[in-house]
A and B are shown apart, each in its own frame.
Chain A
Amino acid sequence: MSELEKKKTEFEARIREFVGLPEGPPYLCPDAVNEAMIRHWCDAMGDQNPAYLDADAAAETVHGGLVAPPTMLQSWEMRGYPMHDATRLLPQNNQRKLHAAFDEAGYTGVVATDTEQEYARYLRPGDRITAETTIESISEEKATALGIGYFIVTRSVFSDEQGEEVGNLSFRVLKFKPAQEAQAAQESAAAPAKPTRIRSPYGHDNGWWWEACQEGRLLIQKCSGCGELRHPPRPMCGSCQSTEWDSIEASGRGSVYSFTVLHYPPIPGYDFPCPVGLIDLEEGTRICANIAGVEPEDIHIGMKVECMFDDVDEGLKLPFFYMVE
């Protein structure tokens, strides 16, 4: 098992411990169902139903008085945004702890994907609601348009002061590693002054290779079917069509098969002139990378080179091939 797979196994074991756990003790919603919040909600929805807003008209309906819109169910348990008390935003319950574990592992994105609600009865002003939320399931790792991630389903059951269930809902979110664009945007927002390199496409099929680079290791994908080496990483062997693969660590030694020196246009994040080479690795496959530590006019085909990893931007190490003669 590779280092990367081991890390993933450990992470998955950690998140799966949360499945089946309650978010915390039963949560008594902070406010009784009330007319003011119902009015604000209806304003936001453009809903003018008198059953929610006009006590006299509501008295004439099947409810015999004001009720809350059924789709407000979840809003009664929302915790708000207490700016004066940051401790209330800390991961003090299991759901927040679970999200924190995802954040730590780089799955910082979150998006709601679907919800399903059941209404046993409509709520009335004065109802005190208790919510009990359970972490119901966590999916396998999925590749999505937003990035690689996991779907988390929580289920909340709402009951009144008599302990009668008034409704329940399930809520599914995707916790994901933001794909390229968003990450680049985050970085440029943090340090707009210094241009950074355009990141290479990073996804399910090649993420492992780039992550090894961050640890200073140059890996080569190796077909488990026929043993052929291949680069760049891809899901299927071009020789035998096997989708089973492993990887070996390259020595980093090789020779220049071909090269070019870029002068124009100057792309932000690179130094110019910028030598780019095709390097034949001694293990027997070819890789495209920058050539460094030598004047561009001294580079020649067949030149012996050795790989070293340099920090090009914060959090980005890349392989550079240095002349060894």
Chain B
Amino acid sequence: MALRASDLRIGDSHEEVVVHNLSRTQIVQYAGASGDYNPVHTDEVFATKVAGYPTVFAHGMLTMGLSGKMLTNWVGDGRLTKYGVRFVSQVWPGDTLTSRATIQEIREENGERLVDLEITTENQDGRAVVQGSATARIDA
């Protein structure tokens, strides 16, 4: 299943809650799955006493992956060709994140139909945590 150019309009968007009430356990799971063991993400004592943060916080790449889940759910299997994000603010345990992709452009390149998307993920207070862009292949 894939998106079809004929069904899409610039400005169309898709939104998903990608994590509800993020737990410290999920952050630790991500450390194990990604191989990123920086203790600011997993060790409460280090994060607070040594690094001076209020508590541990999520890896930027965890938020990127969560937002990517929304993208791949929407654009379909094997369709994502490009994806970039800026880490705008930190994601903390307890956060609920909503990711949204909005169509910026529908175009053709080397005989392939492509859609350019703008990505924003916000926390429960409406504050952006990542912002970025993506490109996916679509059908005619």
Instruction: Give A residues with C-beta under 8 Å from B.
Output: 37, 40-41, 43-47, 49, 51, 61-63, 67, 69-72, 74-75, 78-81, 111-120, 122, 178, 181-186, 189
Confirm or deny: B93 has a beta carbon within 8 angstroms of a beta carbon on chain A.
Answer: no
Chosen A-B contacts, 14 in total, with CB atoms closer than 8 Å, are: A44-B30, A44-B33, A46-B19, A49-B69, A71-B61, A72-B65, A78-B34, A80-B37, A117-B84, A119-B83, A122-B77, A178-B52, A181-B52, A185-B50
Those of B30-51 within 8 Å (CB) of chain A: 30, 32-37, 49-51
B78-A45 in contact (CB<8A): no
Known: A40-B33, A117-B82, A119-B82. A61 touches B77 (CB 8 A): yes
* CA–CA, A115 and B64, complex, Å: 9
Contacts of A75 in B (CB 8 A): 33-35
Q: Which 9 A-B pairs have the closest CB atoms?
A: A78-B35, A116-B84, A185-B52, A182-B52, A44-B29, A71-B68, A81-B37, A114-B86, A189-B49
Known: A117-B84, A185-B49. A80 touches B35 (CB 8 A): yes
The chain B residues found within 8 Å of chain A, CB to CB, are 18-19, 26, 29-30, 32-37, 49-52, 60-62, 64-66, 68-69, 72-73, 76-78, 80-87, 132
With A49-B72, A112-B60 known to touch, is A189 a contact of B50 (CB < 8 Å)?
A: yes
State the Cβ distance, B113 to closest chain A Cβ, in Å: 15
Contacts of B73 in A (CB 8 A): 49
Docked complex Cα distance between A63 and B80 (Å): 13
Contact of A182 among B51, B65, B66 (CB under 8 A): B51
Main secondary structure of the interface of A (DSSP, over half): mixed
Distance of A51 Cα from B60 Cα, bound (Å): 25
A70 in contact with B60 (CB, 8 Å): no
Please, how many angstroms separate the alpha-carbon atoms of A43 and B84 in the complex?
A: 22
Question: Among the listed B50, B61, B80, B132, which residue makes an inter-chain contact with A70, where contact means beta carbons less than 8 Å apart?
Answer: B80
Q: With both chains docked as a complex, state the minimum distance between the C-beta of A195 and any C-beta of chain B, in angstroms.
A: 16
With CB as the reference atom, state the residue of chain A lying closest to B20: A46
Known: A69-B72, A75-B34, A114-B87. A44 touches B81 (CB 8 A): no
Further pairs besides A63-B77, A81-B35: 20, Cβ < 8 Å: A37-B33, A43-B33, A44-B26, A44-B29, A44-B30, A44-B33, A45-B65, A49-B73, A51-B78, A62-B78, A69-B65, A70-B72, A71-B65, A75-B35, A112-B61, A114-B84, A117-B84, A178-B52, A184-B52, A185-B51
Establish whether residues A115 and B61, one from each chain, have CB atoms under 8 Å apart when the complex forms: yes
| Contact with A78, one of B18, B36, B80, B85 (Cβ below 8 angstroms) | B36
Decide: A67 and B78 in contact? CB cutoff 8 A. Answer: yes
Chain A residue at minimal CB-CB distance from B39: A81
Residues in B with CB closer than 8 Å to A120 are 81
Q: Provide the residues of chain B in CB contact with A185, threshold 8 Å.
A: 49-52
User: How far does the Cβ of B24 sit from chain A's closest Cβ, in whole Å?
Assistant: 12
Given contacts A51-B77, A63-B77, contact A114 B85 (CB under 8 A): yes
Collect the chain A residues with CB atoms within 8 Å of residue B36's CB: 78
- With a cutoff of 8 Å between Cβ atoms, the chain B residues found around residue A182 in the complex are 51-52
Q: Which residues of A contact B35 (CB under 8 A)?
A: 75, 78-81
